[in-house]
Structure 1
Amino acid sequence: MSESIVTNKSYGYNSAKIWQIALFALNNTATNLYLFTLTFVSYYATGVAGLTVVVISTILTFMRVFDGITDPIIGFIIDKTESKFGKFRPIMIIGNIIIAGSILTMYNVTHQLPEEFQMIFFIAAYAVYIIGYTMQTAVTKAGQTVLTNHPKQRPLFSIFDSVYNIGVFTGGQIFVASYLIAKHGDFNMALFTELNTIVMIAAGVFTVLATIAIWNKDRKEYFGLADLTVNTRFRDYLPIFKANRPLQMLVIAASTDKVASLVMRQAPVMVMFFGIMLGDYALSGTISLITIVPGLIITFLGVMYARKSGMKNTLVKASWLGVISFGILIPFFLIIDPSIISLESMGGITIVFLILFSIGTGIGTLTPSIVIPMIADVSDYETFKTGRYVPGMIGTIFSFIDKMVSSLAPALVGFLVAIIGYKNEFPQLGETLTTPLLIMTLIIAFGIPILGWLISIIAMKFYILDKKKMNEIQSAIADEKQKSEEEEDEDEAMVW
């Protein structure tokens, strides 16, 4: 089939050009740029504005909860939006403008205020940022429904998104650490000004490109059943979630994977694994760079497999691969001396570790990327089942629960290390590797991801949206649309 905009009469496929998928993925990249730059906001708040570490930590935790609360509200607004500029484009652009304005205000005004007003102003500016951020990120999920419903195209979003995200988070970290810190000497106002200027310009350009990508798809004829769409109220959120089993299962699979991924990336876990167990904390950065290429290869192969066999099947097979790779690493580290792993003398043990670790971390990159287009499948299922076209509500139900569950990652790490006696502080660099510390490091670094993948596999057993079912759904929606159009033509003919 041509990659151009065509409709398959058999299944009702609405296809997109490859460049449209590639550019629409930049909408997620635009918001991730801001997410990246705000990983340094605590340095601004404590080093420039003068807020305390305890205060800023409390504020950022509270803002995480507020972020989840805004999701359902923004999702409802998206579903109710009807304008001559479409449903999604206005939300994307307004959201990006709000984000840029809040960042400018936050970084340029907070430290200028009297000390007694700084905290209140910072909270207000951050809250406004979250509203804009939620608006734009909600479109990333909801807009998938109109961009394409072709089973060989929806997974392609994952490739572009993964590549862009590596550029943002890995490339961005290198840019800050190797260039901006070297240029400005520290996290000072000059550094934040340069970083934020670059981010705002890049995010603005990416948003415009994403808007262009979805331009001719952001029309009513692509909105579910169009004129047949059932009216939905805000209080329908809970009934929709309770009645949509695929949504429930996808939320369980994705949120547990997210927790597993976030747990492994927590700073104390990196110290425990690389700094204490392997005895070389510098390996954490070097190995992160080494695993980029295998991660991209795994994502590419996974997406190609998803185009052929469906996203559900791919998520299950990838999860099993992750279970096997990390499952081997646990007894592997119980048998060997972890300190002999070194990049200076690449022995067989180091090579085996790099292969298995790269596979596991690559799967950790693939599975979240596959989930985003799967949300569009769930939205189409809701339209098929009830007649409702509510991609905003479906996407933000997913985001709300995902954020609430994933916010447990730091607490989970703290609880687990407390079990082995670290109640007042986390394990520190230079500590002796005791047996309890070794076992707990393996549990957190590998056991928790394995548990997340196993829960995903179980959840997918009750997720009915495989390739065959999605073909049935797209065909039924297309038939319903065609039937409606024929009835409208008959009504017009009778009037004349």
Structure 2
Amino acid sequence: MSNESTTAAGMNRAKPYQLVLFPFNNGATNVYYILTITYIAYYGNGVLGLALMFATTMVTVMRLFDAVTDPIIGALIDKTNGRFGKFRPYMVLGNVIMAVSAFLLYFGTRLIPDTMMWLRYTSYVVIYALYVIGYTFQTSCTRSGQTVLTNDPKQRPMFTIFNMVASMLGMGAIQFLAPIFRAKFGDYTTAAFFDMMIPISVIISALLTVLAVIGIWEKDQPKYFGLGSEEKQKIRISEYVAIMKENKPLRRLMVAGAGCKLALAIATNGTVLCMLYGSMMGNYNGLYLPMMIAGYVFSAPFFVLTVRTSQKHGQKASLTRYVGLALVMYVGVFALLLFWKPGVAGVNLSLSSLNIYTVLFVLLFGIGYGAYYATADMPIPMVADCSDYETYRSGNYIPGVMGTLFSLVDKLVSSLSSTVVGIAIAAIGLSTLPGGDTPYMEGMKGIVLVLFCVIPMIAWALTLWAMKGYTLTGERMKEIQAVNAVRKDAIAKGMSTEEALATWKTMDQVPVEFRQE
């Protein structure tokens, strides 16, 4: 294999360090994602004294704000082609905006006296909106930036396994530190908890962003943009509708990605886990971290399996195989929780005195968690496939538009987790979010069954349904990349884009030297 980044056949391959470092952009945004999905409602309700339903539904409401910002920011990325590239400016700017908004939201709002609650509410909303803009800036680059990193079908699945490392250093670090700080400072509703958590989160995210910028630095230049044209894309917002209509694989992937993200967001929601490990099983401090670590341990082999399956059979085959396995395992988890009864030792999860119930729960949960955690971010590299398909279909290189179209639905659906949890908590009569020490009360078992098992299982079923009609298989992507490669070569030699699109459409028209093994 040549050491050159771009081979004679027009294949754009990434260097090993680029494959390793760029996924840290996702790790950087996941730091803020877990703060928002899991802890921001605790801050709003417990520290600022905002109403429970307001604090929990704001996550969803502000995602609706994304309905406006996502397409605008996606178009901005596609029109950008400056001295510092297309993606790096938005990665850095997005992270800076999130850091500033985090300090303003978690520290500045506390300076407002409780006699001026109207100002607390207003400031909370305005600063939250600022955070959303920064988050969209940076997270959009995760999806769109992969198109310049590599178009090799054997390399793209590697994003998933390196993303695991990035998530463990980003989101995983926050999940690991949070219960430790909780035990030290009281609970997730204390100001002292956020005094320690927020600065550490900002630093971790900033460091991961620096690594990601280094990873994409060499590739963030026009010769890796689509068919090689240096002209800035002229995409009008109205054209989003046409893209959604014609790019059927993207529509399917949006449903699948939303299903994967919703399942992950609800099944790992901090409030749900407080009720499961604390209120029901009676030992939050002794179960949360060990079960989280067990989940990561079970995930490791699945990340290897998903990559191998993707390289051999395509990413669609890998996603459906392991989401299906997660669905089967969680049927067993559902059955175990269904048989749980308050105060009955034989049907209680306990790591200090093992029983059949605990062994079965750990195995079923571990295998299920490993399978779905390994596939949770798999739709991200698949967005790059949809973007390459759009280039193949229309000649347009618009990764920003493609990424934000996907993330719009992804974020809207995943953000429903906080609202759903808030409604469920209010339904059993609680006015504050339960913590690790909240005693069991009537109705909690039903809520945990629905949130921890039923909703994720429905989401996985939707993912499997959507993937049935997804046409970008491994073989199909080889054809698309080969056609794009020969078109790019011809355009570089003076042929117009329109003529290139008309001349090469199928693999049998492509010269042998442009075909991928």
Q: TM-score, normalised by structure 1?
A: 0.85
Q: Greater shift after overlay, 266-275 or 228-237?
A: 266-275
Q: 1:214 to 1:169 in 2, by over 3 A?
A: closer
Q: 1:5 to 1:137 in 2, by over 3 A?
A: farther
Structure 2: distance between partners of 1:272 and 1:177: 14
Q: 1:410 to 1:32 in 2, by over 3 A?
A: closer
Structure 1: distance between partners of 2:61 and 2:347: 40
Partner of residue 371, structure 1: 379
Q: Give 1:198 deviation, angstroms.
A: 3.0
Q: 1:58 to 1:82 in 2, by over 3 A?
A: same
- State whether residues 153 and 474 of structure 2, in contact with CA within 8 Å, keep that contact through their aligned partners in structure 1: yes
Structure 2: distance between partners of 1:108 and 1:81: 34
Structure 2: distance between partners of 1:109 and 1:440: 35
Counterparts of 1:226-375 in structure 2 under 5 Å?
A: 226-227=228-229, 231-266=234-269, 269-270=272-273, 273-274=276-277, 283-331=287-335, 339-375=347-383
User: What residue identity is the alignment partner of 1:242?
Assistant: K
- State whether residues 256 and 464 of structure 2, in contact with CA within 8 Å, keep that contact through their aligned partners in structure 1: yes
Structure 1: distance between partners of 2:298 and 2:75: 39
Q: Give 1:53 deviation, angstroms.
A: 4.5
- State whether residues 77 and 87 of structure 2, in contact with CA within 8 Å, keep that contact through their aligned partners in structure 1: yes
Partner of residue 218, structure 2: 216
Structure 2: distance between partners of 1:268 and 1:59: 16
Q: Give 1:226 deviation, angstroms.
A: 2.6
Q: Greater shift after overlay, 341-350 or 252-261?
A: 341-350
Structure 2: distance between partners of 1:154 and 1:482: 22
Q: Greater shift after overlay, 24-33 or 34-43?
A: 34-43
Check if 1:430 corresponds to 2:428: no
Root-mean-square deviation (CA, aligned residues, Å) is: 3.3
Structure 2: distance between partners of 1:118 and 1:425: 23
Q: Give 1:181 deviation, angstroms.
A: 6.0
Q: Give 1:94 deviation, angstroms.
A: 1.6
Q: 1:6 to 1:409 in 2, by over 3 A?
A: same
SS at match of 1:345: coil
Q: Give 1:111 deviation, angstroms.
A: 3.3
Structure 1: distance between partners of 2:266 and 2:66: 20
Partner of residue 155, structure 2: 153
Q: 1:360 to 1:68 in 2, by over 3 A?
A: farther
SS at match of 2:371: helix
Counterparts of 1:36-185 in structure 2 under 5 Å?
A: 36-38=34-36, 39-42=38-41, 44-45=43-44, 51=50, 53=52, 55-57=54-56, 59-113=58-112, 115=116, 117-179=119-181, 182=184
User: What residue identity is the alignment partner of 2:391?
Assistant: T
User: What residue identity is the alignment partner of 2:352?
Assistant: E
- State whether residues 140 and 403 of structure 2, in contact with CA within 8 Å, keep that contact through their aligned partners in structure 1: yes
User: What residue identity is the alignment partner of 2:473?
Assistant: D
User: What residue identity is the alignment partner of 2:85?
Assistant: G
Q: Give 1:334 deviation, angstroms.
A: 6.1
Q: Give 1:412 deviation, angstroms.
A: 5.0
Structure 2: distance between partners of 1:413 and 1:101: 28
SS at match of 1:225: coil
Structure 2: distance between partners of 1:244 and 1:135: 23
Q: Give 1:224 deviation, angstroms.
A: 0.7
Q: Give 1:21 deviation, angstroms.
A: 1.7
Structure 2: distance between partners of 1:76 and 1:172: 32
Partner of residue 450, structure 1: 457
5+ residue gaps, structure 1, are 490-496
Q: Give 1:196 deviation, angstroms.
A: 3.2
SS at match of 2:108: helix
Structure 2: distance between partners of 1:439 and 1:57: 20
Q: 1:252 to 1:331 in 2, by over 3 A?
A: same
Q: 1:407 to 1:46 in 2, by over 3 A?
A: closer
User: What residue identity is the alignment partner of 1:462?
Assistant: G
Cα deviation digits, residues 467-491 of structure 1 (max 9, x gap):
10111111111100111112269xx
SS at match of 1:82: coil
Q: Give 1:64 deviation, angstroms.
A: 2.9
Q: Give 1:20 deviation, angstroms.
A: 0.9
- State whether residues 71 and 397 of structure 1, in contact with CA within 8 Å, keep that contact through their aligned partners in structure 2: yes
Structure 2: distance between partners of 1:334 and 1:99: 41
Structure 2: distance between partners of 1:306 and 1:335: 37
- State whether residues 277 and 339 of structure 1, in contact with CA within 8 Å, keep that contact through their aligned partners in structure 2: no
Structure 2: distance between partners of 1:440 and 1:58: 18
Of 411, 430, 434 in structure 2, the residue corresponding to residue 403 of structure 1 is 411
Q: Greater shift after overlay, 297-306 or 271-280?
A: 271-280
Structure 1: distance between partners of 2:185 and 2:276: 32
Partner of residue 397, structure 2: 389
Q: 1:453 to 1:184 in 2, by over 3 A?
A: closer
- State whether residues 27 and 137 of structure 1, in contact with CA within 8 Å, keep that contact through their aligned partners in structure 2: yes
Q: 1:227 to 1:248 in 2, by over 3 A?
A: same
The size of the alignment, in residue pairs, is 481
Q: Greater shift after overlay, 468-477 or 117-126?
A: 117-126
Structure 2: distance between partners of 1:302 and 1:164: 17
SS at match of 1:152: coil
- State whether residues 383 and 403 of structure 2, in contact with CA within 8 Å, keep that contact through their aligned partners in structure 1: yes
Q: Greater shift after overlay, 371-380 or 221-230?
A: 221-230
Structure 2: distance between partners of 1:120 and 1:432: 36
Structure 2: distance between partners of 1:178 and 1:412: 27
Q: 1:316 to 1:191 in 2, by over 3 A?
A: closer
Q: 1:151 to 1:76 in 2, by over 3 A?
A: same
Q: Give 1:182 deviation, angstroms.
A: 2.7
Q: 1:278 to 1:209 in 2, by over 3 A?
A: closer
User: What residue identity is the alignment partner of 2:161?
Assistant: I
Check if 1:470 corresponds to 2:477: yes
Q: 1:344 to 1:314 in 2, by over 3 A?
A: same
- State whether residues 25 and 157 of structure 1, in contact with CA within 8 Å, keep that contact through their aligned partners in structure 2: yes
SS at match of 2:377: helix
Q: Give 1:263 deviation, angstroms.
A: 3.0
Partner of residue 510, structure 2: none
User: What residue identity is the alignment partner of 1:264?
Assistant: A
User: What residue identity is the alignment partner of 2:94?
Assistant: G
Cα deviation digits, residues 398-450 of structure 1 (max 9, x gap):
111122223333555678899xxx564599843469xxx86775455334333
Q: TM-score, normalised by structure 2?
A: 0.82
- State whether residues 339 and 347 of structure 2, in contact with CA within 8 Å, keep that contact through their aligned partners in structure 1: no
Of 15, 18, 32 in structure 1, the residue corresponding to residue 16 of structure 2 is 18
Q: Give 1:389 deviation, angstroms.
A: 0.8
Q: Give 1:373 deviation, angstroms.
A: 0.4
